[in-house]
Chain A
Amino acid sequence: MDLQLNEDQLAVADAIDKLAEDFSSSPVDFHGFALVSPELDAALEEGGYFEIAAVPEMGAVSAAASTTRLAQLPYTAEVALSMLVRPHLDIELPRPFGVIENGRPGRFVPQAKTLIIIDGDNVGIAHPQEGDVEALPESLFAYPMGKLVGTPEVKQLDAETAKTVKTWMRVALAAEVAGLMQAALDSTVEHVSVRKQFGRPIGTFQALRHRLAECAVLTGGVRWLALKAAFSGDAGDAALAALHAQDSATRLIYDMHQMSGAMGMTLEMDLHLWTYRMKALLSELGGRGGQSQVVADECFADA
């Protein structure tokens, strides 16, 4: 057992930290829903970071930790699926990835070179052509959202590969949510430390302190379950991590917005850039009910 990053993993973490610096604050004049950064995407591509999961010294743990770190930025790029799902497939697939689940609009669909298409138990892969997808810039979700309008050719994956895709999607989801929770929490802690009412910072009121503290506990838990699942690649671990992520995020999103007051409803404050990415992830892979069923099948199989 060794729960500190090893030297190679630390080197990656430092490099990611450095790279993240340039993307750590949103432009003052930005008042949109999704803050997408092609530059961030390019920098990650150039640094070879989408391949680290396949490097034995670093592995999926390093990819998950990087995903978590990058999710804390106000800027977004298609990081999680490329870092954690793509390296675990035998087939070479062009990135970025988008997701269409049960025909609903999904994240990164407008720019995706590869679409993961989930219909119940079936998972297929498609490479959309011009006119197959339509962007939904009005979506409140803080990812570039899009829907399928054409009928691209869908290659159905065999059951085993489908399971691999879903498992790593769950790991990716949990790793990303861990970072989003952390960023939303940090932003709210800063807000309640500065904002004064009744002559004192609102962060001195215990009614808020305890909720913040509980959210910190949940955030730590999601982070560890995501790392453990990345390490093992086990379907049960992945479902536990995704379940804890979706369950914890549901609560944290409410609390963070509540404590941010009206300011939290504006596009001026960055809070929504994290909470509305989380909200987009709450329903993925069947939501909590979907993860619970996998936990029942995988973790309680021998009970």
Chain B
Amino acid sequence: MDFNWTEEQAAFRAQIREVLARTLPENWEHIAHGPASKEQTVFAKKICADLAEAGLLVPHWPSEWGGRDADPWEAFILAEEMWMAGEPRGGQYMNVNWIGPILMLFGSELQKETHIMPMAKGQTLWCQGFSEPESGSDLASLRTRAVKNGDTYTINGQKIWTSYAGDADTCFLLARTSDGKNGISIFLVPMDTPGITVRDIPSIIGEGDIHEVFFDDVQVHEKWRLGEEGQAWEIIGQVLSLERVGIPRFSLASKTLKDAVSLLKKEGRFTGAAIDQAAKAHAACEAARWYSYFIIDKRAKKIQAGPEASVGRFSTVICERLVSEFVVEHVPEAISGVHPMLLAHHQRGIVAGVASGAAEIQLNIIATQFLELPREPR
């Protein structure tokens, strides 16, 4: 075992920090509030193009698709640095982490030709149309329907909580083509298709992040169906494992904790219970970090991680919670906007146990697949 970064890995991290220091504007702290503010989304388009130019958008993609076959470690180091900086790439991380890779695996020639290079160049934004008002954790119960007439599907239904839908060019949409879990199909739908309406949902986590998306007789040609009819469950099974240890949340949580402690120290308030809670939160951040690294190490060695991804994910939920609670109790002025980066963390941190699969669902997976407990009756 070796817990040190290689020289190349350290140099890669330094390069990213240098590019960020050069590229992020003076008022970045104020832009960074909320995960998907308009200001940030506009800025993301610009910085993603710059990053692509510098070879820092999709280094882990195959060279055929604009990458340089960098290993999963570099992809993760990149994700860490971006997330720690307040995710200047905005919604782009979804393309980079899983939409692009999934298209490479399951896309038709036309779909790959159309969609992958614009992602690699940072020119396009996608959104993920999975959740519905009646289908959250129980995703397989979704009702949005795609009915085929000749070579075209007519899609009707509603999605909700869709991040970046207001600015996205394309939707990675799940819709039902027949009954049951194996009756769900994936469609790559341009967001300017007639019949799509997007409505912003005001939230604690900042303006412009989550949306409702309505589909009224939306026409989609079958050539934009990804994979076979009914193959969605199999395909997104692969997505979710990339997504679960996708965002290195411990990196920003850990930095936020240090920043909060630093503020307290300046004011002579880093004493007593603050010390105990900060230490506990720090330990949780490091536990999440090393468990996540362990999974990335497996990924780099092409060893299947399986339900361990849910263990990593839940570790991250714990660390986000402890850091958020620490800030609320000891640096409450942050929540009123006095420290924009601490607020930005708060808004990202509070969703850790809900977005991309609720924490309790991870516990169900750990219980059944990791501990191999007898299954719950259905």
Contacts and interface: CB of A to CB of B under 8 A. Distances in A.
Contacts of A189: 371-373
B84 interface: no
B364 interface: yes
Contacts of A91: none
A3 B294 contact: yes
B293 interface: yes
B279 A4 contact: no
A244 B288 CA distance: 12
Contacts of A295: 275, 278-279, 282-283
B64 interface: no
A297 to B, nearest CB: 9
A91 B315 CA distance: 40
B314 A213 contact: yes
A291 interface: yes
A241 B289 CA distance: 13
A224 to B, nearest CB: 4
Interface string A62-96: 00000000000000000000000000000000000
Contact of A228 (B270, B286, B308, B370): B286
A289 B318 contact: no
A300 B1 contact: no
B330 to A, nearest CB: 13
Contacts of B314: 213-214, 217
Chain B contact residues, majority secondary structure: helix
A203 B366 CA distance: 13
A1 B376 contact: no
Contact of B371 (A212, A243, A288): A212
B265 interface: yes
Nearest to A215: B371
A8 to B, nearest CB: 11
Contacts of A210: 360, 363-364, 367
A247 B290 CA distance: 18
A2 to B, nearest CB: 4
A53 interface: no
Contacts of A204: 373-377
A230 to B, nearest CB: 9
Classify the secondary structure of A's interface with B.
Answer: helix
Contacts, number: 156
A221 B294 CA distance: 11
Given A203-B373, A209-B376, A295-B283, A300 B311 contact: no
A291 B286 CA distance: 15
A9 interface: yes
Interface string B296-318: 01000100000010010011001
B370 to A, nearest CB: 6
Instruction: Classify chain A: how many residues form its interface, as a range.
Output: 35 or more
Contact of A213 (B5, B73, B297, B366): B366
Given A214-B363, A216-B370, A231 B282 contact: no
A232 B286 CA distance: 14
A4 B1 contact: yes
B290 A225 contact: yes
A149 interface: no
Nearest to A239: B279
A239 B276 CA distance: 12
B287 A1 contact: no
Contacts of A221: 284, 287-288, 290-291, 315
Contact of A201 (B265, B364, B374): B374
Contacts of B371: 185, 189, 212-213, 216
A292 B276 contact: yes
Interface of B: 1-6, 9, 73, 258-259, 261-262, 265, 270, 275-276, 278-280, 282-284, 286-288, 290-291, 293-294, 297, 301, 308, 311, 314-315, 318, 360, 362-364, 366-368, 370-377
Interface of A: 1-6, 9, 61, 185, 189, 192-193, 200-201, 203-206, 209-210, 212-214, 216-218, 220-222, 224-225, 227-228, 231-232, 239-241, 243-244, 247, 288-289, 291-293, 295-296, 299-300, 303
20 contacts: A1-B6, A1-B297, A6-B1, A192-B373, A204-B376, A204-B377, A212-B367, A216-B311, A217-B315, A227-B1, A292-B276, A292-B278, A292-B279, A293-B275, A296-B270, A296-B278, A299-B279, A300-B261, A300-B265, A300-B270
A-B pairs with the 4 shortest C-beta distances?
A221-B287, A292-B279, A224-B290, A295-B279
